[in-house]
């Protein structure tokens, strides 16, 4: 199995297409960081307009932790599209080239090959996420420094002490890995059903866009199905950055407001991964590779 | 109307105007109790106080933070949170009793007595005589025996109204509080979802309704004061 994974990883990282996602993420992050470095104070002033009417905020609001949060908000919506570029090509690409027959004629079972391909695609996804974390978090910390995380949400503000922030990012990135692996498995499922790459890639992207729109609309009809959509749960990494308060309205350091929500989302995402990969195995097992 | 009546009118009118001037002059004089408070505060040229700050604003979730408060005569005051972001009422934090009285640019009006937390306190209103000062009027609730100010309510020109209540402990002889609570009105807070990218929130309207129209408070509980040891101007 290990050798199969190595083979698949070799194939992934030999293709120039693989590095498009790494390059795109680097370019986006650097551009945003540069923009905020040059004109971040006016952006912060715009965000804090309502607060500044009542309070004076003293400290480094625009620090590395806040920059990382802004970057994750912007990028974790779009990274799934970059993941789809590789994951949705894993099987269909080989079917298109005709090499799938060669793979399945080896002594290894089809299940072994499917799992090896999925694990290799997952490694790519995780590496992409680590790259994102390195640039968004550590480079931002280096460029902008650190301080408390002053998080402006739609209806309230959360002020998290700087020694209470880093573990939240670890949690958020672990959570994000489940979100992206769900996209990987969806792309994989689409890939197992097609014999060319374009269809599964576009199909996966369309599914993400379609379900994301359904998840964000506050229409009662969609509210019923929203809890079952993986896109509803993908953005819940933000829950790591909301804290509990006690009866005196004092924030409790080290607390997370809604742990059950995070657990539910992880379970839903895990079930989607298992469902999509299992469906891929079943489809590939029945796939006619002779025609 | 004959000349006698004119004389009567002039005499009565003159008496009325002179009485009014005399009484206004009396009112505009500085109250002796305020002088007593000011004398106590005059013992302090500068201080550095360490304490714990609690922010209680309906739309803010913040934990307790250690702060250092720096003061230097006549009215320099700075609150600094140790290694972090601090939130303070806009303009209000600098209007402590020291900064109000040390300017000496005010007149006083007696406001009777009031019972506050079991203490019979003298109420005195301060009106600034300098138009350049930020505050318009300030009411002080003072213990006439200890010459300690237990509450102030100040209206400013640009930053609304503030109420400050004080408790005293070891440093009462200097007129320095062991706990200060700033109360102020907060405005509504709302950022569009398009900016925060928080789409699909369960019930934002209900959440927003619950957070409206609340009063904010900032409490500073002081652990110790370092008095008259010098504070560099660069801190402010």
- The stretches in chain B having pLDDT less than 50 are 20-28, 206, 213
Assigned token pair, B222:
């002081």
Among B69, B80, B159, B200, most A C-beta atoms within 10 A, so best to mutate, is B200
In this model, does residue A128 exceed pLDDT 90? yes
Interchain contact A218–B (C-beta under 8 A) = yes
- Mean pLDDT over A70-85 rounds to 86
**Cβ contact, residue pair A57, B87, below 8 Å:** yes
Please tell me which residue, A4 or B187, carries the higher pLDDT value: A4
Task: Let me know: does A44 contact A57? Beta carbons within 8 Å.
Answer: no
Cross-chain CB nearest to A232 (options B79, B187, B200): B200
In this model, does residue A194 exceed pLDDT 90? no
Helix (H) or strand (E) holding A176: helix A166-192
Q: Domain segments of chain B: what residues?
A: 1-30, 31-235
- Mean pLDDT over A260-275 rounds to 94
Structure ipTM: 0.73
Give the model's pLDDT for residue B23: 46
Angstroms from A57 CA to nearest CA on chain B: 5
In this model, does residue A42 exceed pLDDT 80? yes
The runs of H, that is alpha helices, within B78-158 are: 97-102
Residue A35: count of CB within 10 angstroms of its CB: 11
User: B31-235: which CATH number, 1.10.3470, 3.40.50, 1.10.1740, 2.50.20?
Assistant: 2.50.20
Give the model's pLDDT for residue A142: 94
From residue B170, alpha-carbon distances to A192, B72, B210, B228 in Å are 77, 20, 40, 16
Which of B145, B146, B149 shows the shortest CA–CA distance to B126?
Answer: B149
Which of B192, B142, B130 shows the shortest CA–CA distance to B166?
Answer: B142
pTM of the model: 0.81
Rg (CA), chain A: 21
CA B96/CA B157 separation, integer angstroms = 16
**Cβ contact, residue pair A248, B56, below 8 Å:** yes
- Mean pLDDT over A236-263 rounds to 90
Q: Which of residues 63-102 of A touch B (CB under 8 A)?
A: 73-74, 77
Q: Which of residues 98-137 of A touch B (CB under 8 A)?
A: none
CA B95/CA B88 separation, integer angstroms = 12
DSSP A38-86: HHHHHHHHHHTHHHHHHEEEES--S-HHHHHHHHHHHHTTTHHHHHHHH
CA A203/CA A211 separation, integer angstroms = 12
- Mean pLDDT over A45-54 rounds to 79
Cross-chain CB nearest to A58 (options B61, B85, B197): B85
Give the model's pLDDT for residue B201: 57
Task: Let me know: does B196 contact A158? Beta carbons within 8 Å.
Answer: no
Give the model's pLDDT for residue B28: 47
Determine whether A229 is exposed, middle or buried from the number of CB atoms within 10 Å of its CB (0-12, 13-18, 19+): middle
Encode pLDDT of B162-210 as tens digits.
Answer: 888 999 988 888 888 899 998 888 777 777 777 776 765 555 554 555 5
């Amino acid at each position: 199995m290990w050798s199969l994974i190595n083979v698949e990883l070799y194939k992934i990282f030999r293709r120039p297409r693989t590095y498009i996602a790494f390059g795109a993420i680097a370019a986006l992050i650097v551009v945003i960081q540069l923009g905020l470095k040059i004109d971040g104070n006016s952006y912060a002033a715009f965000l804090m307009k309502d607060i500044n009417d009542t309070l004076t905020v003293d400290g480094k609001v625009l620090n590395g932790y806040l920059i990382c949060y802004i970057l994750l908000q912007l990028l974790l919506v779009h990274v799934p599209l970059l993941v789809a570029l590789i994951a949705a090509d894993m099987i269909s690409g080989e079917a298109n080239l005709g090499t799938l027959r060669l793979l399945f004629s080896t002594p290894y079972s089809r299940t072994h090959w499917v799992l090896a391909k999925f694990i290799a695609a997952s490694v790519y996804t995780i590496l992409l996420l680590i790259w994102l974390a390195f640039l968004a978090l550590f480079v931002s910390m280096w460029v902008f420094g650190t301080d408390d995380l002053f998080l402006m949400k739609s209806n309230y503000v959360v002020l998290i002490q700087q020694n209470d922030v880093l573990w939240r990012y670890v949690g958020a990135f672990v959570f994000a890995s489940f979100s992206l692996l769900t996209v990987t498995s969806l792309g994989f499922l689409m890939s197992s059903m097609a014999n060319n790459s374009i269809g599964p890639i576009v199909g996966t992207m369309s599914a993400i866009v379609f379900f994301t729109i359904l998840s964000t609309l506050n229409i009662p009809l969609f509210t019923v199905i929203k809890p079952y959509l993986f896109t509803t749960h993908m953005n819940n990494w933000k829950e790591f950055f909301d804290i509990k308060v006690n009866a005196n309205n004092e924030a409790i350091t080290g607390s997370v407001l809604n742990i059950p929500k995070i657990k539910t989302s992880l379970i839903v995402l895990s079930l989607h991964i298992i469902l999509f990969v299992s469906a891929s195995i079943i489809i590939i097992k029945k796939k006619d590779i002779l025609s | 109307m004959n000349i006698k009546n004119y004389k009567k009118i002039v005499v009565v009118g003159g008496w009325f105007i002179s009485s009014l001037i005399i009484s206004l002059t009396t009112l505009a004089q500085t109250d002796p109790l305020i002088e007593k408070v000011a004398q106590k505060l005059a013992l302090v040229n500068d201080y550095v106080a360490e304490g714990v700050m609690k922010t209680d604003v309906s739309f803010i979730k913040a934990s307790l933070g250690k702060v250092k408060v720096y003061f230097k005569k006549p009215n320099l005051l700075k609150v600094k949170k140790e290694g972090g972001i601090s939130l303070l009422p806009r303009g209000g934090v600098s209007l402590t009793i020291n900064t109000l009285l040390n300017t000496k640019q005010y007149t006083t009006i007696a406001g009777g007595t009031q019972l506050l937390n079991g203490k019979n306190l003298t109420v005195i209103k301060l009106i600034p005589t300098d138009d350049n000062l930020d505050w318009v009027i300030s009411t002080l609730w003072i213990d006439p025996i200890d010459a300690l100010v237990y509450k102030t309510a100040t209206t400013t020109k640009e930053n609304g109204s503030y109420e400050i209540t004080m408790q005293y402990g070891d440093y009462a002889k200097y007129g320095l509080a062991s706990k200060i609570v700033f109360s102020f009105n907060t405005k509504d807070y709302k950022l569009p979802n398009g900016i925060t990218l928080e789409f699909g929130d369960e019930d934002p309207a209900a959440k927003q309704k619950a957070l409206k129209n609340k009063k904010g408070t900032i409490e500073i509980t002081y652990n110790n004061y370092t008095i008259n040891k010098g504070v560099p101007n660069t801190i402010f």
